[in-house]
Structure 1
Amino acid sequence: MAYKTRVLFVCVANAARSQLAEALLRHTDSERFEAFSAGTEPGEVDPRTLAALEHLGVNTEGLRSKSIDEFAGERFEYVITLCDKSSLECQALPGAGEVLAWNFEDPVTSTQPDAFRHTLHEIHERIKMFVLVKTKR
Structure 2
Amino acid sequence: MKNVLVLCTGNSCRSQLAEGYLKHFAQTKAKIYSAGIEVHGVNPKAVLIMAEDRIDISGQTSNNINEYVDVPFDYVITVCDHEKESCPYFPTQAIKLHHNFPDPAKAIGTETEIMAEFKRTRDLVKVYMEDFVSKNLSE
**TM-score, normalised by the number of residues in structure 1:** 0.90
Q: Alignment length, in residue pairs?
A: 134
Unaligned runs of 5+ in 1: none
Runs of 4+ in 1 over 3 A off after TM superposition: none
Q: 1:92 aligns with which of 89, 93, 104?
A: 89
1: distance between equivalents of 2:12 and 2:138?
31
- Are 1:55 and 2:35 an aligned pair? no
Which structure is higher in helix share?
A: 2
How much identity, in percent, do the aligned residues show? Answer: 30
CA drift of 1:61 comes to: 4.4
Look up the match of 1:15.
12
1: distance between equivalents of 2:88 and 2:62?
21
CA drift of 1:13 comes to: 0.7
Look up the match of 1:123.
125
CA drift of 1:37 comes to: 0.4
1: distance between equivalents of 2:135 and 2:120?
23
Look up the match of 2:35.
38
2: distance between equivalents of 1:96 and 1:28?
24
2: distance between equivalents of 1:97 and 1:91?
15
CA drift of 1:15 comes to: 0.7
Considering only aligned residues, what root-mean-square deviation do their CA atoms show, in Å?
Answer: 1.6
Contact kept? 1:27, 1:59, Cα under 8 Å? no
1: distance between equivalents of 2:60 and 2:106?
21
Deviates more, 1:121-130 or 1:29-38: 29-38
2: distance between equivalents of 1:16 and 1:96?
26
| SS of residue matched to 1:108 | helix
